[in-house]
Structure 1
Amino acid sequence: MSWLPMLCLTALPHLGGLYGGYITRKQVKTWYPSLNKPPWRPPNSAIPIVWTTLYTGMEYGSYLVWKECGGFTEDAVALLGLNGLQLALNWSWTPIFFGAHKLKMALIKIVMLTGAVGATMVSWYPVNRTASLLLTPYLAWLCLATSLNYCIWRENPDGDGKEE
């Protein structure tokens, strides 16, 4: 059963990802195409693959920190708490952007998320370098996503997209 904590900690973010995918699915076919978007945006088909990979890597990192700290100990509280914060910010972005169509609020949220991931990386590094480095692709993706969110907000100030 020593694999159970690894499986649980690694699988956890996928639950929020599934909910986000549910919210996004309809909007990608209706609202999202009506928005002005930069030509360098990733294709919609890449998003589920990217997020599955990122969620798995980042939360395997949380398992490594959890293991290094001896479980949910006093030493792990702040480290895993930061991870929980970034995960909550992550999960809240999709309902704001795709669900409520609040582009500016989503931009604020993703900037906060990016900062929380950076703080998580810094806090994890002395404990488990591999765990910290597993967040690098996530941070890079967030930089791209933040830029995309900004460009979409800038080009669609009302958030409703173009009239069809």
Structure 2
Amino acid sequence: MVQQWDIVKIIGAIALPQMGGWVNGYLTRQEIKGWYQNLNFPSFRPPNWIFAPVWTSLYAGMGYASYLVWRDGGGFSGIAQGPLFLYGTQLALNWAWTPIFFKRHELKWSFVELAALTATVAATGFAFFNINKLAGYVFIPYFAWCSFATLLNYKIYKLNPESTATIEEVKEPKKKTN
């Protein structure tokens, strides 16, 4: 039976990834009507409205999975220590993608970052599975979505080579030499 204190821990574990999602959602909304809508997209890009519910559910799942691993793996000082470190790493990579893509407009580096995130998500899922099977299974749709997002980011990068200029290059264009 779930104790009252366990419910607080579960809520905290689920809320942690959501907080980064909320901040990144705000950053994303600021760019949608400007820079982002002017990009070229592949035909398989989902509609914009799908991203918020998908990420909200993925964040909830990964948060709950982290609670299960923390609970079953002895917390931060037990066998869960390594998997929870991987979890924190993938969460930081997850949160880092939005500023790289939407604020810096770095299509190439956001692709590289997303590929690293996807690999870290896979490693986290395997590590979680070794402690709690359900926690590992929860990472399967997250891995699938990150794999899709990596492909989508790559195609956007390839379709928009002129959009890979850094913010500094936009502010001060390189001078042509003749």
Question: TM range, normalised to the smaller chain?
Answer: over 0.9
Per-residue CA shift, 1:97-152, capped at 9, x if unaligned? 00100000100000000000010111111211100000111111111100110000
| C-alpha distance in 2 between matches for 1:69 and 1:148 | 35
Stretches of structure 1 lacking an aligned partner (at least 5 in a row): none
Per-residue CA shift, 1:40-69, capped at 9, x if unaligned? 111001110100000001111001100101
Please report the RMSD computed on the Cα atoms of aligned residues, expressed in angstroms: 1.2
TM superposition shift of 1:70: 2.6
Within the candidate set 80, 86, 96, 1:82 is matched to 86
| C-alpha distance in 1 between matches for 2:27 and 2:159 | 23
Whether the 8 Å contact between 2:107 and 2:153 is mirrored in structure 1 is yes
| C-alpha distance in 2 between matches for 1:126 and 1:21 | 32
1:92 aligned partner: 96
| C-alpha distance in 2 between matches for 1:124 and 1:45 | 30
2:148 aligned partner: 144
1:51 aligned partner: 55
Q: Which amino acid aligns with 1:49?
A: P
| C-alpha distance in 2 between matches for 1:156 and 1:149 | 11
Higher relative contact order, structure no. (Cα contacts within 8 Å, ≥ 6 residues apart): 1
Deviates more, 1:69-78 or 1:80-89: 69-78
TM superposition shift of 1:11: 0.8
| C-alpha distance in 1 between matches for 2:139 and 2:70 | 15
Whether the 8 Å contact between 1:96 and 1:105 is mirrored in structure 2 is yes
How do 1:7-86 and structure 2 match up within 5 A? Answer: 7-86=11-90
Pair 1:123 & 2:127 matched: yes
Stretches of structure 2 lacking an aligned partner (at least 5 in a row): 166-178
| C-alpha distance in 2 between matches for 1:85 and 1:117 | 9
TM-score w.r.t. structure 2 length? 0.87
Whether the 8 Å contact between 2:110 and 2:153 is mirrored in structure 1 is yes
| C-alpha distance in 1 between matches for 2:160 and 2:138 | 34
